[in-house]
Amino acid sequence: MNIYLVRHGESKGNKVSTHQTEKTPLSADGLKQAKIVAERLKSIHIDVIYASPYKRTSQTANIISKKLKKPIEYWGELHEIRNPSEISELYYEHPESVRIRKLIEDNFILGNWKYSDEETYNDLKDRASKVLKHLLDKHKDQNVLCISHGTIIKMIIACAIFGENLTPEIFWNFRRHTWQENTGITRLEFTDKYGWGLMTWNDTAHL
């Protein structure tokens, strides 16, 4: 099976570097990017489209769905990592955002430490593992397109590559030293002989 993981188009939050909510929409450039990646995906046979229900991903998915003439199944497990509500819609460089994110960074290796109502490493890993299990159970012989978000895409990839050897330390470094561009295409392949393989990372040739 092949899983094509596509990050949403540029959002208004991406454009001005703020912490986003589920209601943050695409920017004008993000809408253009979605149309471009939809044209690119036309050349790939896709059996199923899943998408995060967040505004920016649903907008991206709708454009792709129309181009591919495939329906969308909205799937809550594909939503972005949940940040503490205290930093919602703050600029990244706002002092309170910087303070809270530093606390989270300092305690991330504990796995389940929380500042308030955010998702922990353990929460995110469990969710990504459920995504991989569901896709293997239901779509093993298909090509699946998942339209999602940067951090959860990274965790899905990390779970596929490292499996039970994945730790908070490994994921923290993996997250910090890899990047998912808006509408970047990442492909995972599963075979019975080799298991999961990362075949393409953050392909943005269409842009």
Q: Predicted confidence band at 155 (pLDDT cuts at 50, 70, 90)?
A: very high
3-state class (DSSP) for residue 41? helix
Q: How far apart are CA 145 and CA 6, in angstroms?
A: 7
- Res 180: pLDDT: 95
Q: Which pTM value belongs to this model?
A: 0.97
Which residue in this structure is represented by tokens 């149309």? 35
Domain that holds residue 13: 2-203
Q: How far apart are CA 14 and CA 111, in angstroms?
A: 27
End-to-end C-alpha distance for the chain, whole angstroms: 26
3-state class (DSSP) for residue 195? strand
Over the Cα atoms of the chain, what is R_g? Answer: 17
- Res 174: pLDDT: 97
Please compute, for residue 62, the number of CA atoms within 13 A of its CA located in the half-sphere on the CB side: 12
Which phi and psi angles does 4 have, rounded to 5°? -100, 115
Going by the DSSP 8-state scheme, the letter that residue 181 receives in this structure is: -
Q: What mean pLDDT value characterizes the chain?
A: 97
- Amino acid at site 170: I
Q: How far does CA 51 lie from the centroid of its chain?
A: 10
pLDDT, one tens digit per residue, over 164-189 is 999 999 999 999 999 999 999 999 99
- Res 113: pLDDT: 97
If one counts the domains in the chain, the total is: 1
| Residue 193 CB partners (closer than 8 Å, separation 6+) | none
Please compute, for residue 112, the number of CA atoms within 13 A of its CA located in the half-sphere on the CB side: 1
The CATH number for 144's domain is 3.40.50.1240
Angle CA(172)–CA(150)–CA(190) in degrees, nearest 5? 90
Contact indicator for 50, 5 with CB cutoff of 8 Å: no
What is the average per-residue pLDDT within 114-139? Answer: 98
